Amino acid sequence: MRFEPTPLLLAPNQVWRSYVGGQVLRQFRSLPEAGDNHYPEDWLASTVQARNGSHATHAEEGLSPVIIDGKSRFLPELLAEDPGFWFGNSHDGGSASKNLGVLWKLLDSSVRLQIQAHPDAAFARQHLNSKAGKTECWYILSTRGNGYVYLGFQNPPTREAWAGMIREQRVEDMCGCFERIPVKAGDCYVVPAGTPHAIGAGVFLVELMEPTDWVVRCETVNAGLALPPEACFMGLGLEACLDVFDFTRYSLTDVRGTFQQQPTRLKTDETFVEEEIIGAPWHRFFRLHRVRGTSTATWSGNELLLAIILKGSGSLAGEYHRRLGNRSGSKCHNSRTDPYGVSQCRAGQSWLLPGAMAEWDWKGDGQEWEILLLKLPRP
């Protein structure tokens, strides 16, 4: 089918998880009021099915549903149908693009998540018949009180001692292997595969990652919910999963120097600033830009982007619109009846931006605005 070259508004895609949270996330997304529950994540753009076993709400849970011409389809089917349109020049629009997966989400914890680690690609290929492991990245949006994370061992155990803590569920001893790392809005940390970690209670963040749902959970009970061994150890058993963990000691100084990302300013204009949030060493996994200002802005296209409107509101249109001569600012309904207008955007929304567009033009509504641009890996 022919896709319209306009931003595509993505519907909420709440996914079941073994921990609880989500109240702040739902407020941000302007969803119906609900307290914290087992739907603390919104998989904004996902080609990945969640590994929820008996807790899955439907067979395709995790895959992003997309409404096109009034019909609901899943994102992987959409991307494969016309990779050149969606991925643009950055991935040649060829057959390789059809194999590109994506998993970008919002996560809102009301409790500390289980201490865990994720396999790298080599382990995933050998043991899980998977092309990807799970290096991930956290961009902090807000915290409920004093937010914190565990990231890397500050007091590393031996492999044998760690195995004993897990078998005997000595949670206090596990926590003693870490120090709390305070986090605040705007902080960004990369979590390499194998690095033991846990997101603390009351942290709301954007998460970028390799497109898998693989995880080794060290705690078998979280928020009163008990998980079977296969859900904790990826069906492999504890002994095999011990190979996932990095037992290196990382001081707090090491954590900030190794894992915390420092924004780099790419473009400064009278009305906006664009920054690169994630450093180049991690671009083989994911990329992230932040654009903020008070009026108009432009940023590059030619690749698939996810725009999350964090603050403010405005209108968004692509370079393709300008070549067609439609710069009137007329309202776009994201339908075939008005294929080349501008899209009206507001805080809490996420928009999939096709790579067919060479450049994107933003016009704010006269107040401060802030947008995150999530990007696929680049070798």
Q: What are the chain's domains? A: 8-258 (2.60.120.10), 264-375 (2.60.120.10)
* pLDDT for res 54: 87
pLDDT of residue 90: 62
pLDDT of residue 91: 58
Assigned token pair, 258 = 């190794």
Give SS3 for 65. Answer: strand
What's the confidence (pLDDT) of residue 16?
Answer: 96
The pLDDT tens digits of the residues spanning 345-362 come to 999 999 999 999 999 999
For residue 53, the model assigns a pLDDT of 86
Q: How far is CA 68 from the centre of its chain?
A: 23
| pLDDT, position 92 | 53
Share of the chain above pLDDT 70, in %: 91
| Residues 110, 144: Cα–Cα separation, whole Å | 8
- The rounded distance, in Å, linking the Cα atoms of 117 and 156 is 14
Residues of the chain with pLDDT under 70: 1-2, 90-99, 320-341
| Two tokens, residue 97 | 């693009």
Residue listed under structure tokens 């567009």: 357
